[in-house]
Amino acid sequence: MRLLVLGGAILAATVGIAHAQDLAAGEQSFRKCGPCHSVGEDARNKIGPVLNGIDGRKSGTAPDYNYSEANKKAEITWNEQTFKEYIQNPMTRVPGTKMAFAGIKNDAEIANLWAYLKQFKADGSK
C-alpha cells in the first residue's frame, strides 16, 4: 500500500513539474510575440491586440483594437487547434491579416505557447 501511495505522489509531482516546464517554455516562446502583443493584468494593445482571454474568443473581437477586415471576417474561435493552424503561418491562414509574422513551426513550442497564453483570463489574471 505504501508503495502505491508513494508511486502516486511521485507521479503527481512529475506531472506538476512537467506542466510548469511547459508554461516556462511557453513564456520563453512568448518573447517572440511580446513586441506586438501583451498578456497579464497590465496588458494593453500594441501593434497587435491583447491576448488575455484568447481561449474561446472569436477572432477580431478584442476590445479597443483596430483589426483588419480579414481578421474580423475570419470566423475563428481560438482554441488549441485553431491557434496551432494559425500560428504556423498567420498570413496563409488569414490572407490580408496585419500580422506579418513568419510563424512557429515546432509543434512542442506551439503547444507550450498555447499553454502559456490560455492561462490568462480576460481580465489578465491567471
Domain-embedded: residue 81: yes
For residue 104 the three cell numbers come to 512557429
What is the reported pLDDT for 14? 41
112, 26 contact by CB (below 8 A): yes
Domain with 89, as residue range(s), is: 2-118
98, 29 contact by CB (below 8 A): no
Domain-embedded: residue 92: yes
CATH of the domain at 60: 1.10.760.10
What is the residue-level pLDDT of the chain in tens, covering all 126 positions? Answer: 554 444 444 444 444 444 556 999 999 999 999 999 999 999 999 999 999 999 999 999 999 999 999 999 999 999 999 999 999 999 999 999 999 999 999 999 999 999 999 999 999 999
Domain-embedded: residue 16: yes
Picking from 32, 31, 87, the residue whose alpha carbon sits closest to that of residue 54 is 87
Secondary structure element (H or E) that encloses residue 85, with its range: helix 80-88
Domains contained in the chain, number: 1
